[in-house]
């Protein structure tokens, strides 16, 4: 090794390049044939980028034989390996596990893991958040039932006769539509904006290849489009393309709950005709859409919390695995000092007992 008189090794990059592209130049010598004592005082030639990139097991790629690392094995190791066979590698790994793992398990049991405590706290926090989300979903279901009760109550009431007098007192003002930009009357602004928005909304598609699977009330439209094989993912109450609004009768009452100071409920409701009530146009539809949209937000939050809980549990399960215990070790000096002191005290007490028994025998 290291002499120009030896033969080419046939494994280095120079030899492989010679084998592919012919004999090449005379200066391109095998790396194993470069004399160690040649040009000791001269500066060595810089290796190219390909020469500097050595494999991880380069120290094992030698011509001279190496003994196998396997226990009680005297055979020569294979080229590029520490073992003569796979069986020797498995035997050495088994012996290492049997020797190292019991001590690592004892070290793990002696001191509490800070990361484990943090994960337990994070898991408790996630459970609290999941409980809060479930309470919010129950509250939304309660609001949905209350809305149904309000609508049913309005069906049993007659129209107020004073509605026409109130309608004549409204002022004449104009404004611009936020969707189309046309000038409209303020009295019919809400009705025009709702229809104009639905017109433009029906031109866009919101589809998915998967059908929604939610237990209980399904909030999404889920209309199957056979042209592109997708399910509509708009809210069912707001879908202008597949869910049309029911026709309103002449005797139907608006039924919108009346409030004071924007938020305070008065307990009374609007008794104007539903067909001609401009102030509370499609109020029931918007209330249901608000509840369903909040449900969607809470379900997405619940999905994130479930994923977070799964990640924490997988981290906790993999922390005390065989590979983690073999690769990582923590030495607690305080605990080990306490154990050594306790063992010394036991040895002293045991020695005192033996000496006392010997004195009694004498």
pLDDT at 43: 45
Could you give the CA distance from residue 155 to residue 151 in angstroms, rounded to a whole number?
7
pLDDT at 48: 47
Virtual torsion, Cα 303, 299, 228, 236, nearest 10 deg: 180
Please give the sequence-ordered ranges of beta strands (E in DSSP) within the chain, or none if there are none.
174-176, 183-185, 207-208, 224-225, 230-232, 257-260, 264-269
Could you give the CA distance from residue 356 to residue 96 in angstroms, rounded to a whole number?
44
| Buried b / exposed e along 32-51 (16+ C-beta atoms within 10 A) | bbeeeeeeeeeeeeeeeeee
Whole-angstrom CA distances from 211 to 111, 220, 224 are 50, 9, 9
CB under 8 Å to 175, separation ≥6 — which residues? 183, 184, 186, 189
- For the chain, the maximum distance between any two Cα atoms, rounded to a whole number of angstroms, is 125
Per DSSP, what are the bridge partners of residue 175?
184
CB 219 within 8 A of CB 296: yes
CB atoms within 10 A of CB 297: 12
Could you give the CA distance from residue 271 to residue 156 in angstroms, rounded to a whole number?
11
The predicted-structure confidence for 301-335, as pLDDT tens digits, reads as follows: 999 999 999 999 998 888 878 888 888 777 777 77
Residue ranges of the chain whose pLDDT lies below 70: 1-6, 18-29, 31-64, 161-172, 216, 350-362
- Name the helix (H) or strand (E) containing 326: helix 322-327
CB 319 within 8 A of CB 115: yes
Could you give the CA distance from residue 214 to residue 224 in angstroms, rounded to a whole number?
17
Whole-angstrom CA distances from 72 to 29, 67, 232 are 40, 11, 69
pLDDT at 254: 83
185 three-state secondary structure: strand
pLDDT at 201: 76
pLDDT at 56: 63
Could you give the CA distance from residue 212 to residue 239 in angstroms, rounded to a whole number?
15
């Amino acid at each position: 090794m290291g002499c120009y008189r030896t033969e080419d090794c046939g494994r280095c990059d120079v030899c492989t390049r010679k084998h592919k592209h012919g004999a090449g130049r005379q200066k391109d010598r095998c790396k194993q044939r470069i004399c160690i004592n040649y040009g000791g005082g001269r500066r060595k030639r810089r290796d190219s980028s390909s020469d500097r990139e050595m494999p991880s097991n380069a120290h094992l790629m030698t011509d001279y034989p190496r003994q196998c690392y396997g226990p009680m094995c005297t055979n020569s190791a294979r080229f590029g390996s520490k073992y003569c066979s796979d069986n020797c590698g498995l035997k050495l790994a088994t012996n290492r596990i049997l020797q190292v793992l019991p001590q690592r398990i004892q070290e793990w049991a002696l001191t509490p893991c800070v990361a484990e405590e943090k994960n337990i706290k994070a898991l408790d926090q996630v459970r609290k958040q999941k409980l809060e989300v479930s309470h919010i979903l129950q509250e939304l279901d309660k609001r949905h039932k209350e809305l149904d009760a309000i609508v049913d109550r309005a069906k049993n009431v007659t129209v107020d006769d004073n509605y026409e007098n109130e309608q004549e007192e409204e002022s004449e003002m104009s404004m611009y539509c936020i969707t189309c930009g046309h000038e409209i009357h303020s009295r019919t602004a809400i009705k025009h904006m709702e229809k104009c928005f639905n017109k433009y909304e029906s031109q866009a598609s919101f589809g998915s290849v998967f059908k929604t699977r939610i237990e209980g009330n399904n909030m999404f439209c889920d209309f199957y489009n056979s042209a592109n094989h997708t399910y509509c993912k708009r809210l069912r109450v707001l879908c202008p393309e597949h869910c049309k609004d029911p026709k309103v009768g002449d005797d139907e009452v608006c039924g919108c709950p009346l409030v004071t100071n924007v938020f305070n409920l008065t307990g009374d409701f609007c008794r104007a005709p539903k067909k001609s009530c401009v102030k509370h146009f499609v109020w029931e539809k918007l209330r249901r859409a608000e509840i369903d949209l909040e449900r969607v937000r809470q379900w997405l939050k619940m999905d994130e919390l479930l994923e977070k809980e799964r990640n924490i549990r997988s981290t906790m399960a993999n922390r005390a695995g065989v590979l983690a215990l073999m690769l990582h070790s923590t030495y607690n000096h305080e605990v080990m000092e306490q154990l050594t002191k306790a063992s010394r005290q036991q040895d002293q007490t045991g020695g005192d007992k033996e000496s006392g028994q010997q004195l009694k025998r004498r």
